[in-house]
Structure 1
């Protein structure tokens, strides 16, 4: 397979987890009707972004994998004949939880999982309270539509994660995401942040000669602790292996889009821009240090 039809499902979420899942399912169906072979959902698409505050009751939202959501989405994948990337709050064991991406194969089986490796801890994004850092490493997931380098949100800021996925043979990089603006920042700062988010991911495409698929949510979600909340900026996009935009979504609208990605271009681009060939791995040992004093 060289040309892959990728579906992106961007939508807002509410405190009704059933309605949120139905919104994701409706988006998957729409993408499949548009010819999608692979459909990517946004980060933690079943609910509100609960990490704005540290609240032990939010752990009740977690579920096992396999579990109810993977069963429902697996049945849908089998019905529609598509591969689905879903982001879930995983209950691995009592007191042990992960932010986990699951890939459902088109026969309904679980092709693989990825547990978010980089966990933020910022105002309004208190993920370290909820999520244990992943222990599965940076391993692409083999599917019927290709080898998927699935990462999650905060991972997208780290070139090391993208590089390791590329080195392990990923054919495209995928980032389910939940990121947005704080109303405490002025419009200029807000736009700088959004552009930085787009630029860093496009740079992963360029540096690794791979397409990038990033899917974000939209809508304002209030802070239960009384803060200003988060305005999620959408802007889901697909970039080609030279960082070129193949599709960009709006900042505030529900969108179910199917984008054609030419996987064969990666080979051609890497021949012209041989970054993997020219890496000086004999001098990169200090990358294993936290900082060079």
Structure 2
């Protein structure tokens, strides 16, 4: 089985959309120069995380996919010979918007998109105001270097999404993310939240026997009220963290992973073999009432 070199781009953002895009392009080139074959950017990397408020002006940040950003990224993908995973604010048509990730192959070909399925609505994360839930299902992308699935931020808390994507043939699960701490929180709460976030994703790696790559933004936003916690990481198929970025700084990291580990772990820990698919129908219900 092949190895593949994964590039993580963890960065801070400004209010200038073009500046953020050019910064990401520079970091993609840096990752490619270090040998990266697949480069994953964080959620909504062309802007500040605007979902902290419900403001109609923010809809102006959206664009079609494929569109201007994917056209520029396609040129870089072809030039550098890398696959790019790019999370963008999609304008599907007038009044219809999605939180969407585009995938571009190493020859610059636009392979398709995944639209975020699970949309949160929490203080400072008012995504339901902006995003229509995904309606094209879970996706895998067969690229030059690997077949992988993409899920987005809030999707990472749902084992069903990871399972389905893995069953479709994903060798790697990528999670572009934008999550942080309120700066008013105490350190114990911060630690508990980060650990839960990483643990649930490592559990997807274990349950499905695949590598998980999670890429988060970093830095202070929302006038200093929110600190995005970075901490981007790569987990092997048994939940071992192979690399974890800092909580404070921008980073470009390239790491080689061995896709052959999936067969080894799935053989020795045959969770897929022992699934009782005949018993899982209740999972399609919202809640199971005893009566």
Give the TM-score normalised by structure 2. Answer: 0.98
Matches within 5 A, 1:99-178: 99-178=99-178
How far residue 113 of structure 1 moved from its aligned partner, in angstroms, is 0.7
- Length, aligned pairs only: 289
Partner of 1:247: 243
Q: Deviations over 1:180-222 (max 9, x none)?
A: 0012321111110011001000000000000000000000102
Work out the CA distance in 1 between the residues paired with 2:287 and 2:184.
32
Report Cα offsets for 1:134-177 as digits up to 9, x if no partner: 01111211111111110100000000000000111100000000
Match of 1:283 in 2: 279
SS in 2 for 1:275: coil
Instruction: Tell me the distance in 2 between the aligned counterparts of 1:185 and 1:72.
Output: 39
Coordinate RMSD, CA, aligned: 0.9
Distance apart, 1:112 and its partner CA: 1.6
Checking the alignment, whether the CA contact within 8 Å between 1:30 and 1:256 is kept in structure 2 is yes
Quick check: 1:32 aligned with 2:65? no
2:112 & 2:267 partners in 1: Cα distance? 30
The whole-number CA distance in structure 1 between the counterparts of 2:271 and 2:211 is 15
2: CA distance between counterparts of 1:109 and 1:131? 26
Give the structure 2 partner of residue 259 of structure 1: 255
SS of aligned partner of 1:125:
coil
1:230 is matched with which residue? Answer: 226
Cα-to-partner distance string for 1:67-100 (whole Å, 9 max, x where unaligned): 1100000000000010000000000000000000
User: Does structure 2 retain, via aligned residues, the 8 Å contact 1:124–1:229?
Assistant: no
CA deviation string 1:217-247 (max 9, x = no partner): 0001025xxxx63100000000000011111
Q: Could you tell me how far 1:107 is from its partner in structure 2? A: 1.3
**What pairs with 1:182-193 in structure 2 (closer than 5 Å)?**
182-193=182-193
What displacement does 1:65 show?
Answer: 0.9
Distance 1:2 1:263 in 2: 6
Instruction: Provide the C-alpha distance between the structure 2 equivalents of 1:13 and 1:5, rounded to a whole number of angstroms.
Output: 25
Runs of 4+, deviation exceeding 6 Å: none
Asked if 1:89 corresponds to 2:89, the answer is yes
Equivalent residue, structure 1, for 2:49: 49
Q: For 1:250-282, what per-residue CA distance to the aligned partner results, in whole angstroms no more than 9, with x for missing partners?
A: 001110010111001101110001101111111
Does residue 59 of structure 1 match 2:55?
no
In structure 1, list runs of 5 or more residues that go unmatched.
none
